[in-house]
A and B are shown apart, each in its own frame.
Chain A
Amino acid sequence: MPAFPKKWLWVLLAAAFLVPLLNPLLPDVVSDYRLFLVSTMIIAAIAVLGLNLLTGFNGQISLGHGAFYAVGAYTAAVLMDHLNMPYWLTLPCAAIVCFIVGYLFGLPALKLEGHYLALATFALALAVPQILKYKWLEGLTGGVQGIVLSKPEVPFGLPLTEDQWLYYYCLVVMVLLYWAAANILNSRSGRAMMAIRDQYMAADTMGIDTALYKTVTFGISAAYTGIAGALSASAIAFVAPDSFNFFLSIKFLIGLVVGGIGSLAGSVVGGIFYVLVDNSAQALSTFAKNDLGLQFDLSAYTVFGILLIVLMYLMPMGIVGGVYYLVRSLYSMRKPQAKEQAALKQRVSS
């Protein structure tokens, strides 16, 4: 899939930065609540981005990224709660802690592939809430009650509301992380990562240090997801062990699958998608009850589950990839000579 056209990227970014400023004009459309929702979408997008770096670009399956999200969130919460650290400083700390944790988990993961890695990370995801409740950590983590924090305050006396500031904060972090990920993938290291995914043995033979790349990718991926966790800790201003259950990892997986495995732009779409479905589950359920005549509640996870299965059949590339190929095939049907020209061009250039 080719890169998203640069021109449109700038337009989107400008729109993302300007839209909150429309608040005085359209107070209902650009409400604080909606901005907060978009902030959670951005956080989700970062988490899915992290998972995609590992699963999509390095071929290591992880069902346990909820664990790294939890580590990030708790690192941020503990630092803010015990050391009164400013919220923006918790992000690099969470990134470092998660990188180390991810790197360490990547070491045993080196020996596992495919199903077995999925199994190990599945076990990790299931055990996380219990580990967070461990008695010896209670002084730090607050046990079952979790930690209550305060929302980030607007700095420099800017004329913004708390939610608007949070939105800008998350947006800037995401843009930076996205830019960094795009650059990593576009470098020698990124090509090595993808080579390991596509042809492990060949990559090894070509002199790529596969063990190093795999563990470091695990670390980077965990750091991304951990940053998302840290952001969510300051956005929701609360962390508790039971919010980091296995279903959190399922959400990341649905974000990955919907957006497209191995697509950066898709990660963002996937993150937005799962928050959207999660938040409209109530509306969905009433719709199913009243309009479709179903007798029971339709929960978000039923939708997620069905989508996971259906997408694997119909659009293994995710919605972004699927739509792209649909558009392209329609386009090339209309202009059959375009394909030939492209083929000719390729032949000439090579």
Chain B
Amino acid sequence: MAMAQDSKLKRAAHWADVRGRGLGMWAYVLNRVTGIGLVVYLYIHLVVLSMLTGGPAAWDPFIKVVRSPLFLGLDVVLISGWLIHGLNGLRVTLTGVGLGVRAQKAMFVGFMALAAIGIVAMALLVFRS
């Protein structure tokens, strides 16, 4: 019998489809988005560090640029990614070994509240420094 399958791309789109879904699905999507963001950042970071090989002439002008408000804002985005991914990852680890499974939604809300407090605190530190 001839049968149809969704394309891989269409199926992959289901990873981000949160319509009508539960809180766990939002946590799943947040972890993917922040995870991909952190991997991209890691590569950018390595490329940027390679500028050190050019000596002060290459590095000092770059440092001036990253002290601009735009880059400081990007720092806050990066810290947000760390906090959300790390704390959500802790929830996944705990439930993954059978701890707090029934409280996973409350755990997600609690950890994200912690992340929000951390983001605000870090944003204040970044922009005041």
Partners in one complex: no
Chain A residues with CB under 8 Å of chain B are: none
